[in-house]
Structure 1
Amino acid sequence: MLYIVIPVFNRKDFTRACLESLQQQTTQGFRVVVVDDGSTDGTGQMLRDEFPAVLIEEGDGNLFWTAGVNLGIRRALAEGATHIMTLNNDVLAAPDFVDRMLNCAAQHPTAVLGSLELDAATGQPVYGGETLDWRTNTRRDLLETLPVAQRQGLHRVTYLPGRGLLIPRLVLETIGLFDEKRLPHYLADFDYTSVARRHGFPVYCNYDACLSTYPDESGQEITRRQRSLRGYYQHLFGIRGGGNLRNFTWFGLKNCPRPYLPYFLLNGYARRLVGYFLH
């Protein structure tokens, strides 16, 4: 049984639209767990009134992404989940999304799977996975290198984001939950899928399953719209900072092969120190 775990904090309109897209799936063989981390905009009441079948876990506003997802995963595992999917609330699932992900999982029972992401406004692909060369800290964006004719089926990647991430129970039983202690918000998803890959579980982006996303609504994009010294500090050190130096350090220490680690870290620090003002 698939359980879809969605951590939320406010933005109830996004959550409503996401849940409505799940109600329209061609298969309904799944349950949804929403982790409401102290929302103050009526999200909890909306869930109870409009989506009574949804299982709700609650936080006090201090869970952030990783602990919120872990809380939902624990609930799902206790309910008997065979597969867990983590999903952000600011996505819309194509009607056949769950069906295509489960069909792929049946064919590759030990694989961790992500999906192709489309811009909700334009319908154009915006994310299709990437591979990382640890030696040079350079990323190969598959959407930039794959011919259009090959944008189908499975493609191996180094890691995956938590938006539409399908995880077999075996993976969770083998490597545990997401690292909420060291990676409370950003990079926890990339770290988890990297750790899974290093433990021998294949990590693929499934180009046959599509999610629509809102690229301009990501936390990093919002932070960069109004650049300031305070924003720069939050970018490098804040728990929601996309360039958080501590998070990047832990990610490198846990996943980068040791011979490449010094350059990987130094190169990454430099990019984060200047990247806030360049993008």
Structure 2
Amino acid sequence: MKVKEIALLLTCHNRVQDTVRCLDCLYSCILPEGASLEVFLVDDGSSDGTEDKIRLLFPFVNVIKGSGNLFWNRGMHLAWKTAIAKKQYNFYLWLNDDTFLFPNAIQVLIESYNSCREESIVCGSTCSKLGNDITYGGFSKIGNMLLKPNGELQSCDFFNGNCVLIPNVVVKKIGILDNNFHHALGDMDYGRRAAKENIGLFISPLYVGTCEKHEDYPKWCSPKVPVSQRFKHLYKSSCDSNPLQLFIFENRHHGFFMAAFHLFTINLRALIPQIYNQRKKI
């Protein structure tokens, strides 16, 4: 496919330094011949001056105001919806604002896509800033294992949404991110929906940038947090394990009984975290 127009989708909230650095790295990328790039950035109610800073430094970026309650998935959904309303792009590129692309990142993604069949998605893997540990990318369903780039195109079963290239032909077939999910699960859901439609999922042969791993211990399963507060954190819209959103995801991809089982066990873990945390140590 001849490369033409790429819409880059981004959402942010109160980390202006990361967002500016992300865009600096993005605009330092070498574009393939014939490619153009337009950025759609949702500023989801930031109070740290993100919008003003972006408009000053990057006046060509389409800044979209969010409500402050969109979080990652709904912010990306709004960015994507806005881009499509403007026109149909050849590609849509997801990017997290704490992912800092290497100069060859977009070239690597496009070249990877061009070696696949038309109905394919390419996920760009990221590493730590020291470059020796993979942090986000595509997974094999065998052991939920992150696949490390090995210099060759590899198929995957689902992926993180940190840096993902999606052609318009795929969007026409399966649509955009599901607005049912607030923060997490939207990226994992999208990959699984694509796989069900026989769309190829791949990781790029090389790392495309750096992004540090986020592994904060969740408050909803910490014995140190009072039980009422644990459930409050568990049912927050932004919680990665929000039971209601997780039920939608599990029911869609693993069936009702698995979804119901996990709905029960995740609430049980919030109620009695000591049992599960002790089992995890064994």
TM-score by length of 1: 0.83
Correspondence for 1:142: 147
2:136, 2:160 within 8 Å by CA — same for their partners in 1? no
Match of 1:250 among 248, 266, 273: 248
The amino acid across from 1:44 in the alignment is: E
Following superposition of structure 1 onto structure 2, how do residues 178-257 of structure 1 map, counting pairs within 5 Å? 178-180=177-179, 182-215=180-213, 218=214, 221=216, 223=218, 228-229=225-226, 232-256=230-254
Correspondence for 2:63: 56
Bigger drift between 9-18 and 120-129 goes to 120-129
Secondary structure at 1:249's aligned position in 2?
helix
The amino acid across from 1:103 in the alignment is: E
2:10 is the alignment partner of 1:6? yes
Aligned-pair RMSD on alpha carbons? 2.7
Tell me the distance in 2 between the aligned counterparts of 1:131 and 1:231. Answer: 35
The one-character-per-residue Cα deviations of 1:22-76 (angstroms, maximum 9, x if unpaired) are 1111117312111111111100100111111211111121222222112211222
Following superposition of structure 1 onto structure 2, how do residues 123-162 of structure 1 map, counting pairs within 5 Å? 123-132=132-141, 138-143=143-148, 151-162=150-161
Secondary structure at 1:207's aligned position in 2?
coil
2:125 is the alignment partner of 1:120? no
Tell me the distance in 2 between the aligned counterparts of 1:48 and 1:169. Answer: 28
Tell me the distance in 2 between the aligned counterparts of 1:164 and 1:128. Answer: 8
1:152 is displaced (CA, Å) by: 2.2
Following superposition of structure 1 onto structure 2, how do residues 33-182 of structure 1 map, counting pairs within 5 Å? 33-77=40-84, 78-108=86-116, 109-121=118-130, 123-132=132-141, 138-143=143-148, 151-180=150-179, 182=180
Q: Aligned residues, how many?
A: 262
Tell me the distance in 2 between the aligned counterparts of 1:269 and 1:160. Answer: 26
Tell me the distance in 2 between the aligned counterparts of 1:234 and 1:207. Answer: 42
2:257 is the alignment partner of 1:262? yes
Correspondence for 1:147: none
Bigger drift between 8-17 and 25-34 goes to 25-34
TM-score by length of 2: 0.83
Tell me the distance in 2 between the aligned counterparts of 1:276 and 1:87. Answer: 33
The one-character-per-residue Cα deviations of 1:100-153 (angstroms, maximum 9, x if unpaired) are 1011222323211111210125543233422225xxxx523434xxxxxx7222
The amino acid across from 1:162 in the alignment is: G
2:131, 2:210 within 8 Å by CA — same for their partners in 1? no
2:25 is the alignment partner of 1:21? yes
The amino acid across from 1:262 in the alignment is: F
Gap regions ≥5 residues in structure 2 = none
Tell me the distance in 1 between the aligned counterparts of 2:23 and 2:146. Answer: 30
Tell me the distance in 2 between the aligned counterparts of 1:196 and 1:96. Answer: 26
Tell me the distance in 2 between the aligned counterparts of 1:269 and 1:168. Answer: 38
* Residue 54 to residue 155, structure 1, CA distance change in 2 (3 Å): same
2:96, 2:162 within 8 Å by CA — same for their partners in 1? yes
The amino acid across from 1:41 in the alignment is: D
Tell me the distance in 1 between the aligned counterparts of 2:205 and 2:216. Answer: 25
Secondary structure at 1:5's aligned position in 2?
strand
* Residue 131 to residue 267, structure 1, CA distance change in 2 (3 Å): farther
Gap regions ≥5 residues in structure 1 = 144-149
1:90 is displaced (CA, Å) by: 0.7
